[in-house]
Amino acid sequence: SQTIHQWPATLVQPVGSPLSLECTVEGTSNPNLYWYRQAAGRGLQLLFYSVGIGQISSEVPQNLSASRPQDRQFILSSKKLLLSDSGFYLCASTQGQSGETQYFGPGTRLLVL
């Protein structure tokens, strides 16, 4: 099975500051990678997904961007954080075929003040 690493676990950032969250995957190659955001007590919102290096699909217009510089590395970024960017960010990985299990990382809790 796959192991997803995310860091940092918790982050407190001022409004207007930049952001970089990193996700790395072990135990597989050429995975599909996903970034989700979860507001407190809510469901998961799919932000970005990637089927390969340099290939990013954005699901919703927002203040964030994603990059995939290596096969098993997925980065979520922002140039200037907004208060509304606060939330719990989850990275997930799958082999991409229908019916494949999604493996999730432990998440990063971001608080923008």
Partner 1 sequence: SQQGEEDPQALSIQEGENATMNCSYKTSINNLQWYRQNSGRGLVHLILIRSNEREKHSGRLRVTLDTSKKSSSLLITASRAADTASYFCAPDGGATNKLIFGTGTLLAVQP
Binding site for partner 1 (CB under 8 A): 4, 32, 34, 36, 41-44, 46, 49, 51, 59, 88, 90, 92, 94, 96, 98-99, 101-107, 109
Nearer to partner 1, 28 or 109 (CB): 109
d(C-alpha 2, C-alpha 102), whole Å? 9
Closer residue to partner 1, CB minimum distance, 89 or 112: 89
CB of 51 to partner 1, least distance (A): 6
Here the tokens at position 36 are 């989700």
Between CA 4 and CA 104 the distance in angstroms is 6
Among 59, 33, 32, smallest CA distance to 21 is for 33
Strand, coil or helix: 85: helix
CB nearer to partner 1: pick between 29 and 98: 98
Rounded CA gap, 40 and 98, in Å? 29
Kindly state the smallest distance separating residue 107's Cβ from partner 1, in Å. Answer: 5
Instruction: Tell me how far, at minimum, the Cβ of 105 lies from partner 1, in Å.
Output: 5
